[in-house]
Amino acid sequence: MRRNRIISRSRVNAVSDRLQLNDEIQRLARDAGFDLAGVAPAADTPEHRFFPGWIAAGHAGDMRYLESRNDSGELKRASLANAAPWARSVVVCAANYNSAQPYSTHAGTTTQGWISRYAWSERDYHETLLTKLRRLESAFVSLCETRQAGTPRTWCYVDTGPVIERIFASYGVVGQTSFALERTREYLHQRHIFGQSLASKQYVAFRMSELAARLDLLRSHNLQCAEAVMAGEDITRMATVAKLTAGRLARDVADMCMQFHGGIGYMEETWTARFFRDMRLASIGGGADEVMLQVLSRLDGFPA
């Protein structure tokens, strides 16, 4: 049985106009320096409903900006409608940490370190990304005015999700430590002392295997977090555990990788030295270990 659907011409034109506008916005975002951009309805995500309770329980710690409220006393970050009730659409932009330019992970040489793109200057990365967003904002407003579609009301901001940010940090550590362990494992098989490879030493093998086992546990926890997010569950505890565990694992992996590379691993020209320095941020950025422990303590009923 063949089913037919009748769609009015006006509806077809409206859909076509939206698609063209999406394409235009993505083009403007690329021109502004972003690698990805997408347009979505201004609607709350399932985990937003847990935010007020999260704040009330004191899980924000000293990050008081998360408690900011609108004129009606509502938490701005509990709902997009609280912060921007006039918004109908959200344009989300992303910048890849790597690029084909020098000093990226694809630099093609082992004599250079890699630096995330947003850190290529002395400016705070929030300012760097905000400048690009405002460039996109200006171009979009000009486009609308040129097409006599009026002047849209807009607002730019850079990252504002502490719980999700911690999950993303944990996701990143899995990839980073996997890379470090694999690269160190190869070196241990190649490096020989007293006629035997370092990989044949029991202590070395045991320590590497232990770190790999801890990595497996973190990877499994991350998958569980992702499933909880998709189900709209409160992931405050899971995200906090993930961030704390990931930061400490990153530090331990970086320390062992440098140790097993010996003196050459300490030299700034080698990847292990840079990895050791960079991974230290995993226990600081996005909420330090002490903040994570404070959140967990309060969840466990301690007056921390």
Q: Which amino acid is at 281?
A: L
Active site residue 159: yes
DSSP string, 28-80: HHHHHT-SEEEEEES---GGGGGHHHHHHTTTTTT-GGGG-B-TTS-BGGG-H
pLDDT in tens, 32-88: 989 889 888 888 877 778 888 888 888 777 777 788 898 899 998 888 888 888 988
Give the pLDDT confidence score for residue 51 in this predicted structure: 83
The candidate with the shortest Cα–Cα distance to 170, out of 118, 99, 226, is: 226
In whole angstroms, what is the distance from residue 114 CA to residue 121 CA? 14
Q: Quick check: helix, strand or coil at residue 128?
A: helix
Give the pLDDT confidence score for residue 260 in this predicted structure: 96
Q: Over range 94-116, report the average pLDDT.
A: 59
Give the pLDDT confidence score for residue 112 in this predicted structure: 56
pLDDT in tens, 166-191: 888 899 999 999 999 999 999 999 99
In whole angstroms, what is the distance from residue 121 CA to residue 168 CA? 23
Q: Quick check: helix, strand or coil at residue 200?
A: helix
Residues whose CB falls within 8 Å of the CB of residue 290, separated by 6 or more in sequence, listed in order: none
Catalytic residue among 159, 234, 278, 289: 159
Cβ(91)–Cβ(78) under 8 Å?
Answer: no
**Higher per-residue pLDDT: 283 or 124:** 283
Domains by residue range for the chain, with CATH: 9-42+87-146 (no CATH), 162-299 (1.20.140.10)
Element containing residue 281 per DSSP (H, E): none
In whole angstroms, what is the distance from residue 121 CA to residue 98 CA? 15
- List the single range of 79-88, 107-116, 161-170, 286-295 with lowest mean pLDDT: 107-116
In whole angstroms, what is the distance from residue 258 CA to residue 267 CA? 10
- Please indicate, yes or no, whether the overall pTM of this predicted structure exceeds 0.75: no
Q: How sure is the predictor about 27, in pLDDT bands with cuts at 50, 70 and 90?
A: very high
Give the pLDDT confidence score for residue 114 in this predicted structure: 57
Q: How far is CA 126 from CA 129, 155, 158, in A?
A: 5, 15, 6
Give the pLDDT confidence score for residue 5 in this predicted structure: 36
